[in-house]
Amino acid sequence: MSLLITDPNEQLDQLLGTAIAEFDIPDDVYLRAVQRYEDVGAWFDHYWSASPTDGLVYPQGSIRLGTVVQPIDPKSQIDIDLVCRRDLLKELTTQAALKRDVGTGLRRYVATGPDGHPTCKEGSAAGRSSTAPSRSTWTSCPPSPTSTSTAMPSG
């Protein structure tokens, strides 16, 4: 294979392929994100195990589609959206009660000290004004340089 590509279409393909690869999050970061949301999902599975209406936590958005991009600032966090689904009849609960239950579960999960040292906060999506109800978010912090944990910034 020649290092000098003379076909403009091949040059463009190679340039775009290289540039696009730089946008992707590294495989180890992706795998940590998957491990983290599977961990919180397993925790909620146990949390709701005594309930006749269990629940399910799964990813949505860019993580599910495989299109997560690296933040421009390496100190920034990667936003991972999760869905928390409960098998409840609408008539038997309210949005406020459901939100309170999930928020309580997230705070209890964070209190267990899981990998990544997550924190839990309440508020609108990323501090932006929104007509949507406020939501609970949790953030995992990166590991210290000497740590062997598999932490990943996420929000």
Q: What is the mean pLDDT of the chain?
A: 76
- The torsion defined by the Cα of 119, 41, 61 and 79, in degrees rounded to 10, comes to 20
Mean pLDDT, range 147-151, rounded to an integer:
29
Domain that holds residue 69: 26-139
- Decide which of 138 and 40 is more confident: 40
Q: How many CB atoms lie within 10 A of CB 90?
A: 8
Count: domains in the chain: 1
Q: Does residue 82 fall inside a structural domain?
A: yes
Report CA Rg, the chain. Answer: 20
Residue 39 has pLDDT above 80, yes or no: yes
Residue 151 has pLDDT above 60, yes or no: no
Mean pLDDT, range 66-75, rounded to an integer:
83
Q: Does residue 49 fall inside a structural domain?
A: yes
Residue 40 amino acid letter: V
Q: Does residue 145 fall inside a structural domain?
A: no
23 contacts 70 by C-beta, under 8 angstroms: yes
Q: Does residue 103 fall inside a structural domain?
A: yes
Q: Does residue 154 fall inside a structural domain?
A: no
pLDDT at position 74: 78
Q: Does residue 38 fall inside a structural domain?
A: yes
Share of the chain above pLDDT 90, in %: 12
d(CA 141, CA 139): 6
Q: Does residue 12 fall inside a structural domain?
A: no
pLDDT at position 123: 60
Q: Does residue 120 fall inside a structural domain?
A: yes
Record the tokens describing residue 73, joined without a space: 């600032």
